[in-house]
Each structure stands twice: as C-alpha cells, then as structure tokens.
Structure 1
Amino acid sequence: MRSTRFLGRRWTAPTVLLLATALVATGCGGGGEDGPVELRYSWWGNADRAELMREAIDLFEAEHPDITITPTFSEYNAYWEKLSTEAAGGGMADVAQMDISYLREYADRGLLLDLSELEGNGLDTGDLVDGFEQAGVIDDARYAVPVAANTFALFYVPELFEAAGAPAPEPGWSWDDYHEAIAAVTEHTGGEPYGGADYTGLIWALELQLRQEGGELFTEDGRLAFDEPRLAEFWNETAGFREDEIVVPAAQYVQAQPVSPLGANIGASEFNWDNFLARYEGEADAEVALAPVPTSDPERSGQYLRPSMMLAASSQTEHPEQAAELIDFLINSPEVGELFGGNRGIPATNVQRESARLDGVDRAIADYEEERAADLRELPPVPPAGMGSLEAEFIRLSEEVGYGRLTPQDAAGEFFAFADRTLSS
C-alpha cells in the first residue's frame, strides 16, 4: 500500500522508519494523514479573478501533489457574511483572504493562526516590499500576510482642471490649493460636473490629515486617537463648499451610489485607494489620473503602503504547515505574480512585482506608488475590532451633516458615543 501523499518528497531514514511503524500500528493506513491533505481556501472576487485563481491553484497542486485545494469565493460583502457565519460555527476555511479592517476582530476572537512559528519553516516573508515587514502583525504575533498593496490617492480629471485654470496637483501642494482648484472647476463648469466630492465623508481622509499633523486615527490599543473637536473641525472644513454648492451635494452623492461621484460624472475629483483607478477608468466618461494628495505639512504626506488584501490561516485548521505552504506560494511564486499581474493589486513581494506584467491601469498605479515611495511612512496601528461598523457610522453621520440635519459638533458627539459602545464591547 502506498499513499500518494508521499510522492515527490525526499524522506530520510528516520522518517521512513517512523512512517513504517505508524502504518503497522494503524493496520496499513486506515485514513487520517495517509491520504492527500485537503485545504479549503476562501476568498472574495469576481469571475475573472476566479479563473486566475483556478490556474494558480493548478500550479500549486502540480508542485504539491500531496495537497488538494477546495476553493470558494464570493462578492466582497457576501464574503464577510459567510466567513462570519462559518467562523461562529467552527467551519472557517483553512486559508482565508483577510482585509486589514477585519484583521484585529478575527485575531482577537482567537480565530486566526499565529503564523510566526512557521516563518522560515514553509512561509517566507523576507521578500515583502519595504514598509510591509510588520503588516499583519499584532502584539508580535503574525496573523496575516499581505498579498498586494495600495495607497491613498487623489483621482481627478486633468482635462477639466486644465480648462478651468485650476492649480495642477503636485507633491507638497496644500489643502487650500486643492480647495482653490475644485472651486475653479465648479465655477468653470457651472457644477456640471462639480470640482470635487465632499471628502469629509471618508474616514480615510480624516486619517490622512491626522497623520500629516503627526497623529493617527487609532492608538496601538485600538482606541480613537483624536477628540471630538478635531472631528467637528474636519466635518466643518467643507461647510462653505456645501452651502455654496462647490462640491457634489449630498443628495446627488447618495443618489449616485453605488457608483462614486467621479464614476457617475458628477464630480471632477475625489479621494480613494489607488487601486480604484480601474473602476474609475471603466465608469467615467473622461480620462482619470492619479495625483499626489494635498497636505498641511510638505514634510508629511500622511500616506503609507496599505495591504489591499491579506491571507490568514484558521486557528482551527488541522494542517497548519500546508496552510503556510499555500500562503507562501500565493505571495512568492513568480508564476503566480505573472499570472495575476495587477488583478489583486500591485504585488506585496519584490519577486512578484518583478514578474507581474503590468500594463495600462496597473502600470499607472505601480508608477504612482513608485513616485510616492519616498513620502510613504510606517503603517498605522491595526484598526480595532469593529472598524467596519465605525466606518459605516462615520459615513452615515457625514451624510447627515451634508444634508444639514446634524451640525458637525452634534455629529461628532454621536460618533464618539457610538465608538465608545463599539470599542468597549
């Protein structure tokens, strides 16, 4: 009797002896670890990514004939609903795609495997790009490994900015410069489109400003690192623009959803993560370009390289070594890097960045990150458990401010009360 699990491996004499003893003790096999190991792998994406993932899995299984992969994928929102249900029932996949916004939540609940002991023993994290050495690490334990990267960016329509004589985005330009630019565009176009979306609806724009001031969004222990007056000041920053209809009005912003103002052609600029360029290119009628973010301090852009997606292993997996091998392959294999290109974002390891074929939108994103590399700073603290709920409440309250139903001060009070309940639960 010979198990296919042993094919393609080199075995030392002591290992063979131990295996032979085990086979005798179990009556020559009886199941368990005698057959190929099966790993369940869960991730989010669409049909295009599913086909690429199937090819990547085929490559992995060809190199690891003792491991078979059973993949499942869902659209982003459905993915988290399913993962939460599976985790609660003890049936989480062996390897799961992870978002940094949910990392601490799953780690704090004891649902993720600490991969630290497997680093250098099946999992190589030594080729991660600069700035990602601690990505996925919480309290000295590695719970996830980044797959790809992005950074915050300003998206704008160059044609409209130039026609309005608006200041051109350049490294180190100020928030006043940006405000002047979007006001010029709105005046030039008569609001069709408006010069920009109201960026105070984005918690990540607040984080950007806080980091430019030398602060952070969260503390290391997962509390808010700013106060109510600072949040009220942020929401009040574009009050005059809302009153004068220089930025996209709240009603139009909400009506356009799920398409963004830039994609819906009602705004000429907005902030987002750089990997959204592909989406804007597909939605907007005009050419969309990436530009440096404005800053309150030319020495601090506030930007950092952020994991756009990560890979984690379940603490309940019966096959931690094989789970680590799969993660290692998906982040380090040059063939996988060439296969995916920029589909998952710009790769998080140097070897995959070198092997990835980046054209068009992907090339533009990679160039942007390379141009901004000198201004990127260390990763902020990992967001606390409940980050998803906090962001949703931030969006809701910013819309109430936009409609004029809440003052910035009242909205800030409500947000801090919500955060106190959420972060203490």
Structure 2
Amino acid sequence: MHLPMPEPVRPRAAAPYRTVPSRRRLLGGLVAALVAVPLTFAAAGCGNDKASDDPNAPVKISVFWWGGDARAKLTEQALALYTKKHPNVTFEKTWQANQGYFDKLATLTAGGNPPDIFQIDDNYLTEYATRNTTLDMMPYTENGKLNVDKFPKSLLLYGVVDGKLAGVASGENTQGLVYDKTLLRKAGVPEPTTGMSWEQHIAWAQQVTEKAKVPGTQDPSADYKAFWVWLRQQGKDLYEGKKLGFTAEDVTKWFELWKGARDRKATPTADEIHAGNQTDITKQLVVTGKAATSWVWANQLPELAKNTKSELGVVAYPGDPSAQWARASMYYSVFRGSKHKDVAVDVINFLANDVEAGKALGTDRGLPSNTDVRQAVTDGISDPNMKLSIQVENELSAKFGPAPQVPLKGHSKVKAELIKAAENVQFGRATPAKAAEQFITTCSAAIA
C-alpha cells in the first residue's frame, strides 16, 4: 500500500486542525517507503501521558526554537491561539539566534532536561533520532492525532529516519537560482530558465560576463545544495544508507566542471567566490554586484531583494528539475521522554493544520506544509518577491522527484569539508582529483 498523494490545492478555506483521522494505510505506506532499522530502545508509545486522564488538568509545554524577534513574535501568536482553544495548556517559550542554538540543545539533552517541543533541521535530525532523543510520531499519524493528509508525500518522508517519523516539517522549501533581472536587461542577455543543462548555464554565464562585465554566476562548487542536485541528476545521491552515495570520481568531475567555468571567466575570482560562500544573505554575490546569480534556497528571494535595488528572479537549479525535492525548511520534534508527549504532538498538529495558526506563522519557516493552509496563507500575501518565490515553489512542486533520505550524522562536517575542498581547487592549492580524494577520506570518517 502506498501513501496517498496530496489532493490539488483548491482556493477554499482550510480544514480545521481536528480533521478526519488518517487512514491506517498511511503507516504502511511510509514504512514501505523506507527500510526500518530495529530499535535498540523500547519505542515511546502514545496515549500514556499522566495528565491525559484529566483533560482539564494544567499542562505547561516547553518550546525551544531559533530565530530573530520577528519569528519569536509570530510563534508566540500561534501558541497563544492554541492556549485560547485549550485554556489548561500554557507554554514556556525559549528562543535564541541560530548561532549556538544546537550547542544549547545538546546541553539540555545531555542534562536530561530537553524541551518538550524543539525546532531542528536536516543537519541534526538523524543525529537526534538515532540517539532516541526524538519521539517517533508515526503512531500518531495512524490514530489520527497527527493529520498529515495534506502534506506533500516527499515533504513528509523527509522527516523519517530509520522508519520513524522524527520530525514534522514546519514548512517546505527547495533550491533556487536567484538572478539579477535588472542587470540582464541592461546587458541584453536573456534570463535563465528552468531546465537549462549545466553546460548551457555556464555558457549563458560566460555570455553575461562578456556583455555585462559582471561574472555571470557564483561558482557553486563549494555549495552542497548544488552538488547534491547534480549528483541526483547523475543517478547518485549525497548519502546511501549509512555511507556516502558518491565517489571521488564524482567529486572530481564536479570540481572539473567548475574549474572549466572559471577558466572561461563565467565566474568571479577565487577571493570573490570565497566571500560568496558565506551564508549571510548580505554577502550573496547577486546582491553585492559581484555576480549575476547566487545559489540559495528559493524562499530567500524576498530577503535578498531587501539588500539590492535590482529586480531579482528565481528558477530551479540547472539540469532536470525532478532532481529537486520538497525539502523541510525545518522541523518540529518532540522529546521522547516528555511527560506530556500527547499534548506536544497535538500542539504540532495544530501549528501544521489550523488555518489561523498558519496565518499567524506565515511563511517565516517556509511555505506551510499543509497545502490547504498554504493556499489560505499565500492568498493574503502582497509582497511581489514573496509571491514570485511561492509561485516558483508551487511550479516546481509538480516536478519534484522523491525525497532523499535525511542526511546522516556528520552532515555539517560534510558541508564544511566540501567548502574546504572546493576552495583548495579554486585557489590552486590542490588539483580536482587530489581535493576530491581528501574530501572523501574526511567525510567517510565524519559519518562513520
């Protein structure tokens, strides 16, 4: 049996978060999609909350997330809506900047005092799931307490680790190639399009360099997102089971592709590429004027637009767009040892499926995972850059391929080592083959 695909989005009001229970085939379809690994600890069951015998007993749920003031305000508004519907449930809210967040989460976990609900991303989901820190929410999808009927299939599966639903996607995102439309118009160069091959993209970038006197594209050889999409187009993947899904030969070909682009002046200099490798939005070359394109996440378009006077556009990464997938921008996870796990899951169910909660949260954590809620939220958006970002995401969603497995523990190290290896090639400190060999050795050790 297979997980049913989501129904097309219709311009109507979203269903309330208390909806018809998910059918039993959901669990079977999900488990069939992934290979489950035997548990080393007893599975945490649902329906065992001590407070559940008295539905009116006071319950305090601790919630921990990263983000700025704006996200904090939106999150607090959504949680207040839950308390309005459930007056006995209140929240202990803690948030901080991204930097240091996972250090703090690790400290709380090690000290035996993690929050009931915490925000996490695909860099760490596998690590926390395999340590049995996260609650398996799969049984809740079976008994109807967590409704995922309106989630895109690949988005839901991207929260499954070893057959367990370790995280519920708070929103959807995908890779996006953002380009400077104003610059291209002035230079008389056509805009890039979804479906261009990698060679066509590089040839286009070379044309931009020649006509606009600005390098056509940021060199993405250090960008794991671009490398990952390229690998999937070659029939490979970033990870396969418990090991890397690619070889040193694959990495060499990737580095040589971009060495050729640099030789053709399609990209900036090594120093400028290094600056563009920063994750800070303000350092992206498409807004600093150092390149006509940057390789980012599609939902970053509105923030990029705030940092430039140019009009920006966004398309898929080069090659077959089915190599891209509905990526969870981040997840909500529940601590496996929470004394109020049932209530915590109900809170996540509310945040994901209640239309008023969705409107309160907006698109801060990506496009809402529930496609009905997404429609209700996007109907009220007026920002043209956000509208464009959503339009591209929705267009690509029809072309998305299956989700890859959630990255392995050590993924952050793999990302950092790709930057190091790519920059060694860019600065001439190593040949593509030598850098690839070193990269494979280091990454294999990181995920072991």
Normalised-by-shorter TM-score class: 0.7 to 0.9
2:342 is equivalent to residue 342 of structure 1 = no
Structure 1 contact 164–188 (Cα < 8 Å) conserved: yes
One-letter amino acid of the counterpart of residue 372, structure 2: V
Aligned pairs for 1:48-127 within 5 A: 48-119=70-141, 120-127=143-150
**CA separation of 1:62 and 1:325: change in aligned 2, threshold 3 A:** same
2:202 is equivalent to residue 141 of structure 1 = no
One-letter amino acid of the counterpart of residue 93, structure 2: P
Aligned pairs for 1:128-277 within 5 A: 128-190=151-213, 193-219=214-240, 221-255=241-275, 257=278, 258=280, 259-277=283-301
SS of the residue corresponding to residue 237 of structure 1 reads helix
1:41 is matched with which residue? 63
Question: Which ranges of structure 2 fall in alignment gaps of 5 or more residues?
Answer: 1-50
Counterpart pick for 2:311 among 260, 279, 287? 287
Partner Cα distance (1:412, 1:93) in 2: 40
Partner Cα distance (1:59, 1:90) in 2: 29
How large is the RMSD of aligned CA atoms in angstroms?
2.0
CA deviation after TM superposition for structure 1 residue 143, in Å: 0.9
Partner Cα distance (1:144, 1:66) in 2: 25
Normalising by structure 1, we get a TM-score of 0.87
Partner Cα distance (1:353, 1:34) in 2: 32
One-letter amino acid of the counterpart of residue 156, structure 1: Y
**Higher mean displacement: 327-336 or 277-286:** 277-286
SS of the residue corresponding to residue 311 of structure 1 reads strand
Could you give the per-residue CA deviations for residues 219-275 of structure 1, whole angstroms, max 9, x where no partner exists? 1x2311111011011011121332454312221233464411112221110222101
Structure 1 contact 169–292 (Cα < 8 Å) conserved: no
Could you give the per-residue CA deviations for residues 124-154 of structure 1, whole angstroms, max 9, x where no partner exists? 2222134324231122211111110011121
Q: State the number of aligned residues.
A: 388
SS of the residue corresponding to residue 133 of structure 2 reads coil
One-letter amino acid of the counterpart of residue 166, structure 1: V
SS of the residue corresponding to residue 77 of structure 1 reads coil
Counterpart pick for 2:329 among 308, 311, 334? 308
CA deviation after TM superposition for structure 1 residue 213, in Å: 2.1
Partner Cα distance (2:347, 2:208) in 1: 49
2:351 is equivalent to residue 351 of structure 1 = no
Counterpart pick for 2:390 among 366, 369, 373? 366
Structure 2 contact 218–294 (Cα < 8 Å) conserved: yes
Structure 1 contact 294–301 (Cα < 8 Å) conserved: no
Partner Cα distance (1:388, 1:292) in 2: 24
1:10 is matched with which residue? none
CA deviation after TM superposition for structure 1 residue 35, in Å: 4.8
Aligned pairs for 1:381-420 within 5 A: 381-420=405-444
Structure 1 contact 151–305 (Cα < 8 Å) conserved: yes
Could you give the per-residue CA deviations for residues 366-409 of structure 1, whole angstroms, max 9, x where no partner exists? 11012222211110111101101111111122122111112111
2:24 is matched with which residue? none
CA deviation after TM superposition for structure 1 residue 341, in Å: 2.1
SS of the residue corresponding to residue 100 of structure 1 reads coil
Partner Cα distance (2:150, 2:264) in 1: 50
Could you give the per-residue CA deviations for residues 89-123 of structure 1, whole angstroms, max 9, x where no partner exists? 21211101110221101101111111122223432
Partner Cα distance (1:172, 1:34) in 2: 55
2:340 is matched with which residue? 319
**CA separation of 1:69 and 1:189: change in aligned 2, threshold 3 A:** same
Partner Cα distance (2:330, 2:316) in 1: 23
Partner Cα distance (1:123, 1:294) in 2: 36
SS of the residue corresponding to residue 124 of structure 2 reads helix
Structure number with larger C-alpha Rg: 1
One-letter amino acid of the counterpart of residue 84, structure 1: A
One-letter amino acid of the counterpart of residue 61, structure 1: T
SS of the residue corresponding to residue 92 of structure 2 reads strand
**CA separation of 1:186 and 1:92: change in aligned 2, threshold 3 A:** same
Partner Cα distance (2:249, 2:205) in 1: 26
SS of the residue corresponding to residue 383 of structure 1 reads coil
2:350 is matched with which residue? 329
Structure 1 contact 172–301 (Cα < 8 Å) conserved: no
1:26 is matched with which residue? none
Aligned-pair identity (%)? 28
Could you give the per-residue CA deviations for residues 310-331 of structure 1, whole angstroms, max 9, x where no partner exists? 1100112111101101111111
Normalising by structure 2, we get a TM-score of 0.82
SS of the residue corresponding to residue 61 of structure 2 reads strand
Structure 1 contact 112–314 (Cα < 8 Å) conserved: yes
SS of the residue corresponding to residue 445 of structure 2 reads helix
CA deviation after TM superposition for structure 1 residue 202, in Å: 0.7
SS of the residue corresponding to residue 338 of structure 1 reads helix
Structure 1 contact 222–383 (Cα < 8 Å) conserved: no
Partner Cα distance (1:143, 1:156) in 2: 35
SS of the residue corresponding to residue 272 of structure 1 reads strand
Structure 1 contact 308–345 (Cα < 8 Å) conserved: yes
SS of the residue corresponding to residue 238 of structure 1 reads helix
One-letter amino acid of the counterpart of residue 288, structure 1: L
Partner Cα distance (2:429, 2:189) in 1: 32
CA deviation after TM superposition for structure 1 residue 33, in Å: 9.9
Structure 1 contact 167–178 (Cα < 8 Å) conserved: no
